[in-house]
Amino acid sequence: MVIMRRVAAGLLVMLLSMMARAELVVEVTQGVEAPTAIAVVPFGNETGSALSEDVAAIVQQDLQRSGFFQPMARENMLGFPVQQSELYYRDWRIAKMDYVVIGRAVSVGANDISVRFELYDVLREQSLLSEQVTITRDNLRDGAHFIADRLFERLTGLQGAFSTRIVYVTAEQLAPGKQRFRLQLADWDGARARTILESSEPIMSPVWSMDGSKLAYVSFETGKPAIYVQYLATGRRERIQSFPGLNGAPAWSPDGSQLALVLSRDGNPEIYILDLQSRQLQRVTRHYGIDTEPSWAPDGQSLIFTSDRGGQPQIYRLELANRKLERLTFEGNYNSSGRLTQDGRFLAMVHRSGGGGNGFDVAVQDLKTGRLDVLTRSGMVESPSIAPNGSVVIYATQEGTRGVLAAVSLDGRVQFRMPAVSGDVREPAWSPYLR
């Protein structure tokens, strides 16, 4: 009887509990804002000869510099598995890794090698990616950047920008009164730099067309500033019609048919749009203040530019269809060189906050919320340029008396210097995605 009653009571409780069953919901609103822990294990080399590049090291550096990842230092690795059968999740878990990348290179023919790379989720103990890429022996960096792109895309959902390029200008003082200016093209990490233009006169404001096939820049090679277009594939150059006074700060429209530029032919610097086909010039700003540094919004509907019409340089947006002008920046007493991310949400700029003694730094403003974050503390930055996936901003800064290139992830977590190059480095420009 008692037992039955107990059983009945138990059943009742169970019934009630069934009825009262409501899923427990836990809300997690805080976390550790830390890069993802990943181990890029040195790749196995089964090609029979030493490789000119450490592919895994390049992959690791790429991932780290994106700011999204915190790779494990090699010296901390307990082992170097090169295939799945050698991979023990537990070891990597203990090492607090979330992901592990392993790979191995094998020879394919005389000059090609094939690199197999595999991505594993340590916590879930599953394979996320297993691919291979075939490259020529002297293009191992391309292969490495490709692998980094694949991994990045798999893990972040964003297209990797590690196979993109940058251009920048270097200036060298060869002798008193004799300078050498070079327009350089390099991997995004500064490696494999090569000169695509050399001049004894200043080269300025290089900018990529949206298809990545050509550059526009200002060259003083004729003694006067003039805008040139240079095709990367062939090296062919084209001088765009030049106008009296200042010709500067070109910017390609997203469709590549127009060029925004700054001309002072009407007195003070104003922004114009030049149709490259028809050579039609159209003035879009009209103010006695300086209007300069135009840049297209990714949708091509508006231009952002720097103007001191408000008494100090600030960034404005001009709607092209209706010429509606909107001031974007209000924080700080100096904001210039604005660049929008491809999603149009973030504005990177050179920023100087109010109050004396503060220098110029890279700042990012969230156009959705208006929030502005200063990413650097260098004090002398210029020419920020954003990676096409919006992850990193590259900029020029001063190191001692020399200009150098540096980059900072858009969230400010990772900051790094580009490899040292001779001379004064300035005006970097990040390419769009390249095929």
SS3 category, 147: helix
Closest CA to 181 of 167, 166, 196, 169: 169
Q: Rule CB under 8 A: is residue 24 a binding residue for another protein?
A: yes
Q: In the complex with another protein, which residue's Cβ is closer, 19 or 50?
A: 19
Instruction: Give the type of residue at 416.
Output: F
**Contacts with another protein in 330-349 (CB under 8 A)?**
346
Work out which of 7, 12, 15, 78 binds another protein, going by CB under 8 A.
12
Q: Rule CB under 8 A: is residue 67 a binding residue for another protein?
A: yes
Work out which of 13, 15, 94, 420 binds another protein, going by CB under 8 A.
13
Q: Give the count of alpha carbons within 13 A of 228, CB side only.
A: 21
User: Cβ 158 to another protein, closest distance in Å?
Assistant: 6
Q: Rule CB under 8 A: is residue 313 a binding residue for another protein?
A: no
Q: Rule CB under 8 A: is residue 90 a binding residue for another protein?
A: no
**Contacts with another protein in 153-192 (CB under 8 A)?**
155-158
Cα separation, 279 vs 48, whole angstroms: 58
Contact track, another protein, 374-413, x by CB under 8 A? -----------------x-----------------xxx-x
Q: In the complex with another protein, which residue's Cβ is closer, 30 or 85?
A: 30
> Contacts from 81-88 at CB under 8 Å and sequence distance 24+?
81/41, 82/41, 82/43, 82/44, 83/44, 83/118, 84/118, 84/120, 84/127, 87/120
Which positions ≥6 away from 226 have C-beta within 8 Å? 218, 219, 220, 239, 240, 242, 247
Q: In the complex with another protein, which residue's Cβ is closer, 70 or 385?
A: 70
Q: Rule CB under 8 A: is residue 9 a binding residue for another protein?
A: yes
Pairing outcome for strands 36-40 and 69-71 = parallel
User: Cβ 130 to another protein, closest distance in Å?
Assistant: 18
CA angle, residues 345, 348, 353, in degrees to nearest 5: 120
Q: In the complex with another protein, which residue's Cβ is closer, 22 or 110?
A: 22
Alpha-carbon distances, residue 278 vs 224, 241, 246 (angstroms): 24, 12, 22
Q: Rule CB under 8 A: is residue 37 a binding residue for another protein?
A: yes
Q: Count residues contacting another protein (CB under 8 A)?
A: 47
Residues that bind another protein (CB under 8 A): 5, 9, 12-14, 16-17, 20-37, 66-68, 98, 121, 123-124, 155-158, 346, 366, 368-369, 371, 373, 391, 409-411, 413
